[in-house]
Amino acid sequence: MRRVGKSCFLKLLQESLTEQGIPEKSIISINLDTIEAEPLLNFKSLYRHIKKLSPRAGKTYVMIDEVQECEQWERTVESLFDDPRYDIYITGSNAQMLSSELATKLSGRYVEFPIYSLGFSEYLAFMGHAEEDAYNQFPRFLKTGGFPALHHFDHDEEVIYQYIESLYNTILLKDIIKRHNLRNVALLENITRYTFDNIGNIFSSKRIADYVKSQRMSVGVETVQNYLSYIVDTYALHKVKRYDIKGKRLLEIHEKYYLGDVGLRHALLGYREGDIAGMLENIVYLELRRRGYTVHIGKQGTLEVDFIAERANEKRYIQVAYLLSEKATLARELKPLKAINDNYPKFLLTTDTLFGQDIEGISRLNIVDFLLE
């Protein structure tokens, strides 16, 4: 997603190469999301520019930021890739960047590094807080999210939300409306607002279409699906499919959506204490993705497990809840985990600070402790 630190990642990489003795003339760095780069937004112009700057001998490191701004950029990358002198690093803010044509041409020849907004432990480091203060700082993280630039704003929520709202508008304008040549901006905004307002809830494209129609706008289910896919492509929204644990298959309907950063929702809709359960789920989901897990929603008969997290031969079942002060609430949250018959670890994450013993092999953790693991 935009503003999560991709450009900084490239700068750190460039500094690392320089420290290793690589001459500066052997490192070509281009940011295509600037006015200065407008002449390079064509693959031929970009290719000629890089070749012109390349030393005649030795390895050349090419770093292209926001590469999707260049029309047919993959042709430039493919042409450079065929020359063993070039070591190429590209960033982009669109999920289709490494799909379709490039994936076919460079299949098996590139490594992808997904970059997310700051996790809670990173947030504490950026803000200058010790982990001992984590419990006090978590409510603030829950309200503002983890965009790296937030450390400039001295905890001023009004300024933070203005910054995030401007980022949201940039994503809508540059990454969706301009890229897909959309004319019905009001429809896109309505679909985005509905989705952001239902984070962690199961809903269908038809339900969104019905909502939009209630706003006196005509829309079909297929159009809703297209617009949702455009938002997902920007990484501002993540689509999470449901997995039938007993039947061992992915389900094609009733998926859930989570935000690329919870701050996006609060900047658009305002912070609402009553929606904290969905926000906690969102934060746990992003943390699992940062740790390299593939994540699905679990379906066990009529019961639902918030997350099935898998990587390599490892699997975890995770249930997320706000507070479990009532025995009935605790029983309800444990029931889906107890119904699973395999021996993979099961966790119940809450904001409670006092726990008894684990329950039938289910570990209970405070969400803050989980985020700091």
106-115, 167-176, 362-371, range with the lowest pLDDT = 106-115
pLDDT of 61 > 80? The answer is yes
Residues 91 and 64: beta-carbon distance below 8 Å:
yes
Q: State pLDDT tens for residues 287-303.
A: 999 999 999 999 988 99
Mean pLDDT of 105-119: 86
pLDDT of 274 > 90? The answer is no
Q: What is the largest CA-CA distance in the chain?
A: 73
pLDDT cut 70: percent of the chain above it = 98
pLDDT of 18 > 90? The answer is yes
- Residue that the structure tokens 């969102």 belong to: 282
Which pLDDT band holds residue 65 (cuts at 50, 70, 90)? very high
Domains of the chain, residue spans? 6-105, 120-371
pLDDT of residue 365: 95
pLDDT of residue 262: 97
Q: Identify the burial level of 90 via C-beta atoms within 10 angstroms of its C-beta, where 0-12 means exposed, 13-18 middle and 19 or more buried.
A: buried
pLDDT of residue 102: 63
Tell me the three-class secondary structure of the chain, residue by residue.
Answer: CCCCCHHHHHHHHHHHHHHCCCCHHHEEEEECCCHHHHHHCEHHHHHHHHHHHCCCCCCEEEEEECHHHCECHHHHHHHHHCCCCEEEEECCCCHHHHCHHHHHHCCCCCCCCCCCCCCHHHHHHHHCCCHHHHHHHHHHHHHHCCCHHHHHCCCCHHHHHHHHHHHHHHHHHHHHHHHHCCCCHHHHHHHHHHHHHCCCCCCCHHHHHHHHHHCCCCCCHHHHHHHHHHHHHCCCEEEEEEEECCCCEEEEEEEEEEECCCHHHHHHHCCCHHHHHHHHHHHHHHHHHHCCCEEEEEEECCEEEEEEEEECCEEEEEEECCCCCCHHHHHHHHHHHHCCCCCCCEEEEECCCCCCCCECCEEEEEHHHHHCC
pLDDT of residue 173: 93
pLDDT of residue 239: 95
pTM: 0.94
Going by their DSSP bridges, the two strands 294-300 and 249-259 should be labelled as unpaired
pLDDT of residue 115: 95
Mean pLDDT (the chain, rounded): 92
pLDDT of residue 103: 60
103-117, 191-205, 263-277, 325-339, range with the lowest pLDDT = 103-117
Task: From the options 3.40.50.2300, 3.20.20.20, 3.40.462.10, 3.40.50.300, give the CATH code of 6-105.
Answer: 3.40.50.300
pLDDT of residue 98: 65
